[in-house]
Structure 1
């Protein structure tokens, strides 16, 4: 009998079906995996998901934030208007946090550029450089490419900046790119091309500092002092071996380059163990500061010797000023130690109201609002405007007033608010809904309007109260501390 080998035996059919099913499942799984790879490849980037540092803020920081508010405020953070130290710290914390932004913002290359440029302007070039390394879309965006180039130049990665310039496909004739291109050509030994590009850059927009540095690099003329206005000038200053930490360099430094210009060593390093000399030096240094931001910088530089003075015991020439500086530098413990020694009736350079404001400053800095401190401020407010302003600032962080204190507080004339009532209302709404990122941006927009010293006490208290409600208590305390320092410093 002949057997038809083309037919499958009924006994073998189940096995064939099993093998066929397994093959189909395998092919299906492979197709799904391929589709997943395709989806991942095509997925739009989120320019806000990369973290610069662990800021303590949540990974859903931008949840619920209004895209329009982000588009309005973020680019301004890299603009010419300065932020006071407390608000600059809030901006750095918010922008350094890794958190997906709303879809229409997170995948927008120009908003990614705005984040990078703002971080650079806030002195976070190193962090910006790290997140911009992973950013896509640079060649087609002048703003994102500029952020990448500036971050690279400020961190000393000149080759990376030149690569960003070479890859750019748009706006190549803008003044910034001509200046960077001339530097890169000079760096590559293309002197004639660099000279020509330099001339084109100057014809478009004259820049005396760039012209001086680039001219010196090309012709060997005396370069003068280093200039730290931007990354290109900083790169030229380094190429010319100029002192980028000189007084002239520091005076020229933009906020982006202030960390580079600042001397790495503490002021107290040369004083040694002579605490009397340390105190005299600290006091002179603190008193010469002409603005609140300058006072905060001086306080931070003096922090080591103030801490030594706080623990050494003995009388101090101006203990209240030293205690204020300690809080400004974030050293509440040293301020408390100095305050604990002020038991005598006469305090050098201080009144009873000054001590009441100092107590409020220490309370705000520690995050522990003492009702008695608040009541004391309110009682002092009957005879002085600074105490009234201090009371409204401290009360924004919490605390409880008794009936008499509330009655007196209600009579205070705190002045007319200058902040936008509409934005304050939206800020309060964001705070109540715990939209932390939106609350931070609205607070920053109000601070930008106020200038380098920050908002007036009546507006600052509203902002701090909202930040506290939103869950940004660290920033709320910093805003209040800065306001209290401003009262004492303006005296």
Structure 2
């Protein structure tokens, strides 16, 4: 019989969900890289592919290297990033098993927010009561006043509310708390944070009103209403196309695409003609359904496709190849040819750069043409890109992911430009994060097609 000692639990060892990533994810990762990347994931709006990689990496339970797993600030930032990514339940599960929560205000705040966002108000209040450090901060005063109010300690709640209002300027919180204590009209719900969300729930306010949705933190923003699949597929198609055409930006397009996917899949399997098949195929790819996109593409034959040019079809084929992880030299050759024909402003040139990151073969003529393309500049620092390449080559998977996330988060909600995106795709593939490499490539290719 062999006896092996297990590593003590740390702030990264508890999983938020099953992700398929290894328990060695954080092996040899640099704590400094984590300190740079994690706060961005909790605070910045992210593109769908960036959010997907962040969610997967941060949900993974894996022991962290020394200096990272016992840092309460990093542990709290991991949890807050999960909450911001819509994984409040996962963050709640992580913090239930995290050591030292009651001794750390940042960890306790993350735990309280996760509890409030999952409707566990009493649990959040107990977390506030158990906190043994920095109890006088603005957040804890706001939470304490709420907890006293729901615990029928109205006088104490009124006093704590007065202190909270002096320390923080949150007119919505003050309005909601006054309504809870006095019965005055509460106005619209506010979903800016867990405390305001809990107040709005307690007051029975409409959490789906336009004002509530406009104020909502990403974790509390409701998804778009799904397109209903009725017997009349013509009506479903019209509704889906109108919603897709009205979406502003790739993130909104992706949300609408997910809501429209049941209708798009039904249309793909029907015999009825499609009004704008390329747009529907793009939407299926944005929603992560390559099979439906492939089925729509299979219906398109000849040179005459409603609402589409040969360049549109070449870009769609490239996006399909990326979604399926194919090293398709024929599709890449077609993009390069379109890039030459369209010149420097053609979206086929940056699309070719992204697709080439998968390593599709190019013949001598294609290589010569490709070498003339100049799809823009890199926005990432040379040092960060060099460390990204080194981490991927050395198999430091978690570090490579964090560097990619740092670069992508800096680029904003549209994600990185084609030059940096191609570099990220190549590095993620080398680091063994193929699912995420495909997602970044698909997103970049769709960004060249969706206005």
Sort the TM-score into its range (normalised by shorter chain).
Answer: over 0.9
1:203-232 C-alpha deviation (Å, 9 max, x unpaired): 111112212211211121222222111100
CA RMSD of aligned residues (A): 1.6
* Worse-superposed segment, 335-344 or 244-253: 244-253
Count of aligned pairs:
446
In the alignment, structure 1 residue 397 sits paired with structure 2 residue 358: yes
C-alpha contact 2:223 2:255 (8 A) present in aligned 1: no
Question: 1:255 and 1:369 mapped to 2: Cα distance?
Answer: 36
| TM-score where L is the length of structure 1 | 0.88
Question: 1:175 and 1:338 mapped to 2: Cα distance?
Answer: 54
Aligned to 1:19: none
In the alignment, structure 1 residue 229 sits paired with structure 2 residue 192: yes
In the alignment, structure 1 residue 302 sits paired with structure 2 residue 245: no
Q: Which structure 2 residues correspond to residues 108-257 of structure 1 after superposition, within 5 A?
A: 108-257=71-220
Return the offset for 1:176.
1.0
Q: Which structure 2 residues correspond to residues 393-432 of structure 1 after superposition, within 5 A?
A: 393-432=354-393
C-alpha contact 1:178 1:197 (8 A) present in aligned 2: yes
Where 1:268 maps in the other structure, the secondary structure is coil
Q: Which structure 2 residues correspond to residues 272-311 of structure 1 after superposition, within 5 A?
A: 272-311=230-269
Question: 1:386 and 1:463 mapped to 2: Cα distance?
Answer: 19
- Structure 1 unaligned runs (5+)? 1-32
Aligned to 1:88: 51
1:146-202 C-alpha deviation (Å, 9 max, x unpaired): 011001001111111001111112222211111111100001001111111112111
Larger radius of gyration between Structure 1 and Structure 2: 1
In the alignment, structure 1 residue 69 sits paired with structure 2 residue 27: no
Where 2:102 maps in the other structure, the secondary structure is helix
Where 1:60 maps in the other structure, the secondary structure is coil
Aligned to 1:464: 425
Aligned to 2:13: 49
Question: 2:275 and 2:185 mapped to 1: Cα distance?
Answer: 47
Question: 1:287 and 1:250 mapped to 2: Cα distance?
Answer: 21
* Worse-superposed segment, 129-138 or 424-433: 129-138
| TM-score where L is the length of structure 2 | 0.96
1:38-85 C-alpha deviation (Å, 9 max, x unpaired): x99xx8541111112221111100111112112222233212x21111
Question: 1:302 and 1:133 mapped to 2: Cα distance?
Answer: 36
Question: 1:447 and 1:367 mapped to 2: Cα distance?
Answer: 21
Q: Which has the higher contact order (CA 8 A, sep 6+)?
A: 2
- Structure 2 unaligned runs (5+)? none
1:349 is matched with which residue: 301, 307, 325? 307
Q: Extract structure 1 runs of 4+ deviating beyond 3 A.
A: none
Aligned to 2:226: 267
Aligned to 2:336: 378
In the alignment, structure 1 residue 360 sits paired with structure 2 residue 318: yes
C-alpha contact 1:45 1:107 (8 A) present in aligned 2: no
